[in-house]
Structure 1
Amino acid sequence: MIHAYDEAYLGIARTSLGRAFDYAAHCENMDLSQFCRLFLSTGIASKFERGDVRTIAGQSGVELARSVLASTIGDGAVMARYTASRSPEYWAGWALAHYQWSKALPFATVLEGVPITSIVSMYPAYHEMDLEHFVARMDELMGANTPASRLKKYRTSAGLSQSQLAALSGVPVRSIQQYEQGQKRVNRASFETVLRLAQAVGAPDPRALLDV
């Protein structure tokens, strides 16, 4: 499986985002949904998800949070303090960083499918479990909450798995996964690629696979 960036940075990335979430919630008394919107809109999330070393490892979690909040809090200094143990907000950031890394999806896609409030609410049940249980649950929620792409609808109607579609069309299974998850748009694929996918799933016209 292709991950978002080198696994060597994963531990640092999880801790950094966990500390950033904890700081925003407990030092700035900020609603975590609002913080996530700023995280996305400032472009810092995009750098983080690509594994930009300066973003995920070149600063502390507090510094990451303050970079996100710079447009709203300016240069006002707030003393960093943490909860005595891992807070639900810390765990949510920590677990979210892991899920984004494991699936190589944009944070915007993940948080659109599973809002941060839902991730925080998973803390009591999942914080002591192996992370793969959390990943599996997130996959379930993403599948239930993310609108199915047209490609996925045609593929499932044809009774094909992603691997079977890849074998029939000659399109790599990873590309099919990215098209269906919204990480890549079918609309931007070459005509030849869309044609081969359409023929494999029995679509009446290649344009039927294009997402509006």
Structure 2
Amino acid sequence: MMTVTKKEETYPELWLESQSENLGIFFDIAINECGYSPKKITDYFIKSKMADLMSKGHPRFSAGCNGEELLMLCLDTNNVNSLNIEEMDGVQTSKEYWAGYMLAIYQWESGRNFVDILKAVPLSKIIEAYTPLHESSEEKFYDVMEHWISDVKGA
């Protein structure tokens, strides 16, 4: 069960599924097809300002682009060639897709900014949690993220 009262809504819940899928695709393609490390693509995501804008529900990034387009915009903003990105079909099952998908749900539920979340809990840690958490509920994932963030704040 989620233990924190949701902060002020940052964007309509109607956009949550789209944003979750798109962020999953974004990280899946960036890591598995383009070969970026989780740290490098997180750095690009933050530096591009996309992480902050998506946290605030900017319509272009939260509902106006698909995952591939988000990645191309992110890489272009960072002056990185994005010509080799291809559109993905269907729901993905990679650890990286799951991490992006769950990260978006956690961000919306917690009201925290993606930048703050990813500075406290590296994407690589979320990806590594796939095996024990991918069949768990969203609430369990939320509780684990809250624990990890509280560990960082307490340090």
Q: Give TM class, smaller chain.
A: 0.7 to 0.9
Query: How far 1:103 moved relative to its partner?
Result: 1.1
Q: Which runs of 5+ in 2 are unaligned?
A: 1-5
1:127 — aligned with what?
Answer: 134
Contact kept, 8 Å, 1:22 with 1:90, in 2: the verdict is: yes
User: Aligned with 1:37: secondary structure?
Assistant: helix
Identity %: 28
Q: Is 2:112 aligned against 1:110? A: no
Letter of the 2:83 partner, please give it.
G
After TM superposition, the structure 1 stretch with the greater mean CA deviation from structure 2, 22-31 or 72-81, is 72-81
Deviation sequence 1:104-153 (CA, Å, 0-9, x none): 111121112111111001111111111000000110110011247xxxxx
Q: How many aligned residue pairs are there? A: 148
Query: How far 1:4 moved relative to its partner?
Result: 2.6
Cα separation, partners in 2 of 1:137 and 1:118, compared to 1, 3 Å: same
Letter of the 1:19 partner, please give it.
I
1:23 — aligned with what?
Answer: 29
What CA RMSD, in Å, does the superposition of the two structures yield over aligned residues?
A: 1.9
Cα separation, partners in 2 of 1:110 and 1:75, compared to 1, 3 Å: closer
1:39 — aligned with what?
Answer: 45
Cα separation, partners in 2 of 1:15 and 1:81, compared to 1, 3 Å: closer
Cα separation, partners in 2 of 1:108 and 1:88, compared to 1, 3 Å: same
2:16 — aligned with what?
Answer: 10
Query: How far 1:75 moved relative to its partner?
Result: 5.2
Cα separation, partners in 2 of 1:86 and 1:68, compared to 1, 3 Å: same
Contact kept, 8 Å, 1:18 with 1:91, in 2: the verdict is: yes
1:69 — aligned with what?
Answer: 75
Q: Which runs of 5+ in 1 are unaligned?
A: 149-212
Could you tell me the TM-score, scaled by structure 2's length? 0.87
Structure showing greater radius of gyration is 1
Q: Structure 2: how far apart are the matches of 1:8 and 1:82? A: 22
2:3 — aligned with what?
Answer: none
Query: How far 1:83 moved relative to its partner?
Result: 9.4
Q: Is 2:110 aligned against 1:98? A: no
Cα separation, partners in 2 of 1:110 and 1:61, compared to 1, 3 Å: same
